[in-house]
Every structure is written in structure tokens, then in C-alpha cells.
Structure 1
């Protein structure tokens, strides 16, 4: 089976982790801050706060922005559930903004229409989470303009997008947002096994997220409420969590970070080759906006509704799996999940997202993929579609 994504672990990665294993620190040592500094420098951000997962980073980002009961968070329906679950963790309400039919990202036009209505109803969002789906940057400049007009904060869910750029700036620079979140899951562009990171240019937000990731405990005298009782003294000054990244994970991530540009470049090469090979196929290949340079985390095709024959969306998916092609579907609209239906959501609320879900298939794409493997994917799809 050719997987849709796969990590690349080199001897240098293994040696970096082994070095930590032989050191005095396995959890909270020098590797975590070193990794944070390296990522911050790479993406031109002032602060980086490493965490145990991107979900943890999204949660603490929401808390740092004081999202809570009575507040609203809006995000895209075509994303992993963590992009909206982070609002529910805070006791806030969540809602969804339909996607752009070409980029599959949150649509700024749909966002503006929804904001106009929300202002009339007195239900404007406190936070909007645009998702850089497949690594392609959202229209951040326009979303930022709307944030200035309607008063919401922006958390970029850039789980797919490290190594990408928007209008010449690295994703993660937070030029158009308050916080940006990266994921380092194994199928992402670089990995720490599990892990995530929140980027920000705001000193107070960085300090609050760092506090929340470690139980809300501080040893910083300037933050304490009482006089120190001794060198052992610490205080819990907030209700935090155990969301810390380990030195083992950070060492792996730091080693991988050296190859992020090469990984993204290779993904672009493979995606361009797919585009050429699929030129005559009855499907839509991923459209790329000229304002951005995608991280190319995923390669999503869409079957053309006009294509006739036995090959329904489900049949194409199943027959590719049967042929040893590890296709996937990113994602089921979040509001169609049973948990969200119990909250009052129902199918059909975002028409473009529904159309996407009926047509989309994620094909294998990863840096170590060979052209022979890619030819196998193309050949299998050609056979399934009968072209």
C-alpha cells in the first residue's frame, strides 16, 4: 500500500534523539527552547511556544485570547475537528464559514456576508480560525481587513503549512494574525512524532501560552502573587494543562527543520508532475493562488460531476484502495460529525463544503515518494476511471 503521507526519518534524526537520551534531560531541557528559537527564526516570528500537539496549541491559543462562555469562534468546515473543538474546550460556541470553491479554504466573501448578519444579530465572533488546507495559504490580507472592521482575533491553523509563504512572507510570521499554529504529526511536513507549536509576535500572548502549557505554574518572581518562601518555591497562578513538548521530540523536530525547504520543494515537484500526468483526466487538480507558496502537505483531486459510468466517488475511492493506493479524504465537513449534529448542526449548511466532500480524494504525496510510485497511482486511477 502506498500511503497518502509518510514521515522521513534519517540517521541524523535518530542520532539527534539518541543524543538527548544520553543527556541529563529527557523532558524539559535545552532542546525545547532551541527548537522554539529555530522555528521562530525560520518563520520570522518573535515568539514560539512548543506544545505536545497542534490541538494543545489551538486550545491554549484560544485561552490566551480569552475565548470563553458566551463567545463565538468561526472556522472552516473542511478541516480536522481540532480546529473547532478548541472553542468547545473553552466553553465557547462554534460556527462555520463556507469554503472558496477553488482554494478550498475559508472564503472571505462568505465570511463577510456572515459577519454582516452576525453584527445585525449581535453575535459577532471573538476568534476566527482560517485553515491553510493542504498547505495553501488563506486570503489572510482580506481576513485581516475584516478583523479590523469587525473586531475579531485571528488564529491561523497552519498545521499543513510550515515551509509555505504568503505574499513573500513565511507562514507563521503572524503578519496578518494574532497566533499561528503548526502541527508536527508524522504525516505533516516535518515531524516531532507528536507535537505542535504556537507562533506569535505578542509578548503577553506568548507568556500566557507558555504558562498554560505547564499547569499554570510559574517560578518567575515578577508573576508571583506572594513573596518567595525559598529556592524551591513556585506558584500556580492559572488553571493550565500538561501540554509540554519533550526534549526528545524537540531534538527530532530541530533535526527535521533543517530539511523543511527541501521537503516542500520536493512536494512541489511531485505535485507538478501529477498536474501534467492528469491533464487529460476527468478531474480537477489543485488550483494554486499566485499570492501563496503552498506547503503542499496534501494533493487533493476532485472528480468531475459530469463524469459518467460506474465510477462514483465511493467506487473510485474503494477501487484505488483495493489497488494498493492509500487514498484518503480530507475532510468530512466538521458539522456533519455526530457530536456536532447533537449541537444542532445539520448537513447542507455550507453548500461548497458539501460539494467538495462529494468529489474530493487525497492522493499519496510525500517527499520520499518515487516517480515509480507516482506512476503506480496514476495508472491505478486511469484504470478505475476508464480513461
Structure 2
């Protein structure tokens, strides 16, 4: 079975993990700040805050920006539920902005129209979380301009997009956002087993996120409410969480980071080969790529335009029976039962729903070969033609 995604580990990765396992540091040690600095430097950001998942990073990013009960947060319905759950963890109200059907990303025109309406009824968001779906950055320059016009913060959910570029700069530079979040789950571009990181250029937000990832505790005398009792002393000054990354994970992240450019180059080469193999298929359309971006291609997604829900299920099943683990990213968040209980319903975001009915995620990872792609494409075309 060819999986839709898979990590690539080599001897350098194994050596780094073993060295850390046999060192004096397993949980909190020197590899964590090294990894934070290395990725921040790579992306062109001032600060990196490593945590145990991108979900945790999204949560503390919202808290660092002051999201609380009664605030509004908007994100894309075409994402994993973590992109919206982070707002609910803070007591905020969540809402969605429909997507561009051709890219899977938040539609800037839909955002602009929704903001104008929200301003007229005094219901503007405090934070907007655009999701760089499949590794392609959103139109961040336009989103940033809207954030300045309407006064909201921007958190980039770049869980898919480490190593991607927008207007020649790496995603994570935070040029057009306040905080950017990455994921290092094994199927992502680089892995730390589990793990994530928040990047920002704001020292105050960085310090708050560091504190929140570790129970809200500080050992900085300047932040304490009384004089220190001694070198062992600490104070809990906020309600934080155990969101820390381990030193073992960070050590793996450092060696994976050395291979990031190679991984993304391979993914782009595979995507180009997929595109060429599918170029004469009117019914099968890869997601569009904007000219001013360089995708990290976490996923390779096609839309099969003729599908209905029954045919969708049949096609994915047939591909898996043929040894290709096709998948679907994502079920629109607003259609999840929990969110329907919040008042969302079918029909609220028609582009996201139409996309969901047509989307097929095909295998994409660095060790995939062109022969694999040829086989995957021919099998896909055969099954699509049979369905028609």
C-alpha cells in the first residue's frame, strides 16, 4: 500500500535521537532552544517557541494575542478541527470564511465581504487564522492589508507549509502576520515525531507563549510578585499548560531541518510530474498554484469534478483496494456534529462543501518515485473513467 504521506528518516536522525537518549537531557535540555533558534533563523523570524503540537501552538498563540470569552475568531472551514478549536479553548466565538475552490485556501474576496458586513453590525473578529492548505500560502499581503483596515490580528496556520515561500520569503517570517504556527507530525514536511512551533517577531508575545507552554510558571525575578526565596524558586503567574516539546523531539527536528530544502524540492518535482501526467484530464484538476508562491506540497490534492458523494466513496475505496491509500482533506469543519450543535449547518460555506465532494488526496512524500506517480495516475484515471 502506498501511503498518502510518510516521514523520511536517515542515519543522522537516528544518531541525533540516540545521542540525546543517552545524554543527561530527555525532556527539557539544550536541543530545544537550538531547534527554536535554527528554525526561526531559517524562516527569518525573531523568536521560536517549540511545543508538543501545532494544536498547542495555535492555542497559546490565541492566548498571547488576548483572545478570550466573547471575542470572535475566523478561520477556514477547509482544515483540521484544531484550526478552529483553538479559539473555542479560549472561550471565543468561532466563524469561518469560505474558500477559493481552485486553491482550497481562504478566499480573500469572501473575507473582504464578510468583514464589511461584520463592521456594519459591530461584529468584527479579533483574530483571523488563514490556513496554508496543502502547503500553498494564502494571499497574505491582501489579508494583512485587511487586518490593518479592520483591526484584527493574523495567525498563520502553516501546519502544512514549513519550507514554503510567499513573495520570495519563507513562510514563518511573519512579515504579513503576527504569529505563524508549524506542525511536525510524521506526515508533515519535517517531523519531530509529535510537535509544533510558533514563530513571531514580537518579544512580548514570545515570552507569554513560553510561559503558557509550561504551566504559566516563571523563574524570572522581575515577573514575580515578591522577592525570590532562593535559586529553586518559581511562581505560577498565569493558568498555563503542559505543552512542552522534549529534547529528544527537538534533536530530531534539528537533523530534519538540515534536509528541509531537499524535501521540499523533491515534493515540488513530484508535483510537477503529477501535473504533467494529468494535464489532458478535463475531469481531474490539481489545485491551482499562484505565481508568487512556492508550495511545500505537504499534500497533492486533485478535484474530480464529476463526483457525487456515492461516487466519491467508491473512488477512494477502489484506489485503496488497488494499493493506493487515497484520502480526503478535509471534511469541512462546520459539518462536524460538534460544530452543528453550535449552529452551523450544511450550505453555510458552499465552496468548502463542493470542494469536499470532489477532493482526492494522492500520495506525496519525498521517497515516492516517478514510476509510483505514473502508476497512481493511471490507476486514478482508470477508476474515474469507469465511474463515468
Q: TM-score range by the shorter chain?
A: over 0.9
In structure 1, the partner of 2:17 is 17
Distance 1:68 1:329 in 2: 33
Residues 104, 287 of structure 2: 8 Å contact kept: no
In structure 2, the partner of 1:233 is 233
Residues 325, 364 of structure 1: 8 Å contact kept: yes
Distance 1:167 1:103 in 2: 17
Residues 241-284 of structure 1 deviation map (CA, whole Å, 9 limit, x = unaligned)? 00000000000010000000000000001010011111222211
Residues 311, 384 of structure 1: 8 Å contact kept: no
* Structure 1 SS opposite 2:80: coil
User: C-alpha displacement at 1:322, in angstroms?
Assistant: 1.2
Residues 263, 367 of structure 1: 8 Å contact kept: yes
In structure 2, the partner of 1:292 is 293
User: C-alpha displacement at 1:354, in angstroms?
Assistant: 1.1
Q: Please report the RMSD computed on the Cα atoms of aligned residues, expressed in angstroms.
A: 1.3
In structure 2, the partner of 1:211 is 211
* Structure 2 SS opposite 1:27: coil
In structure 2, the partner of 1:40 is 40
Distance 2:280 2:108 in 1: 32
Residues 4, 361 of structure 2: 8 Å contact kept: yes
In structure 2, the partner of 1:28 is 28
Distance 1:382 1:146 in 2: 41
In structure 2, the partner of 1:51 is 51
In structure 2, the partner of 1:343 is 342
In structure 2, the partner of 1:266 is 266
User: Cα 1:60–1:311, aligned 2, differ >3 Å: closer, same or farther?
Assistant: closer
Distance 2:89 2:162 in 1: 25
* Structure 1 SS opposite 2:223: coil
Distance 2:172 2:381 in 1: 38
User: C-alpha displacement at 1:313, in angstroms?
Assistant: 2.1
User: C-alpha displacement at 1:22, in angstroms?
Assistant: 1.0
Q: TM-score, normalised by structure 1?
A: 0.98
User: C-alpha displacement at 1:285, in angstroms?
Assistant: 1.2
Asked whether 1:383 is paired with 2:385, we answer: no
Residues 63-110 of structure 1 deviation map (CA, whole Å, 9 limit, x = unaligned)? 000101000000000000000000000010000000012221111110
In structure 1, the partner of 2:284 is 283
Residues 311, 385 of structure 1: 8 Å contact kept: no
Residues 156, 180 of structure 1: 8 Å contact kept: yes
User: C-alpha displacement at 1:328, in angstroms?
Assistant: 0.6
Residues 18-44 of structure 1 deviation map (CA, whole Å, 9 limit, x = unaligned)? 000111110100000000010001000
Distance 2:11 2:361 in 1: 29
* Structure 2 SS opposite 1:25: coil
User: C-alpha displacement at 1:230, in angstroms?
Assistant: 1.1
Distance 2:71 2:54 in 1: 22
1:166-185 to 2 correspondences below 5 Å = 166-185=166-185
In structure 2, the partner of 1:374 is 373
Distance 1:119 1:360 in 2: 34
User: C-alpha displacement at 1:382, in angstroms?
Assistant: 2.2
User: C-alpha displacement at 1:289, in angstroms?
Assistant: 0.2
User: C-alpha displacement at 1:291, in angstroms?
Assistant: 1.2
Distance 1:360 1:274 in 2: 15
Stretches of structure 1 lacking an aligned partner (at least 5 in a row)? none
* Structure 2 SS opposite 1:386: helix
User: C-alpha displacement at 1:311, in angstroms?
Assistant: 8.7
Distance 1:109 1:181 in 2: 24
Distance 1:372 1:169 in 2: 33
* Structure 2 SS opposite 1:60: helix
- 4+ runs of 1 displaced by more than 6 Å? none
Residues 182, 197 of structure 2: 8 Å contact kept: yes
Q: TM-score, normalised by structure 2?
A: 0.97
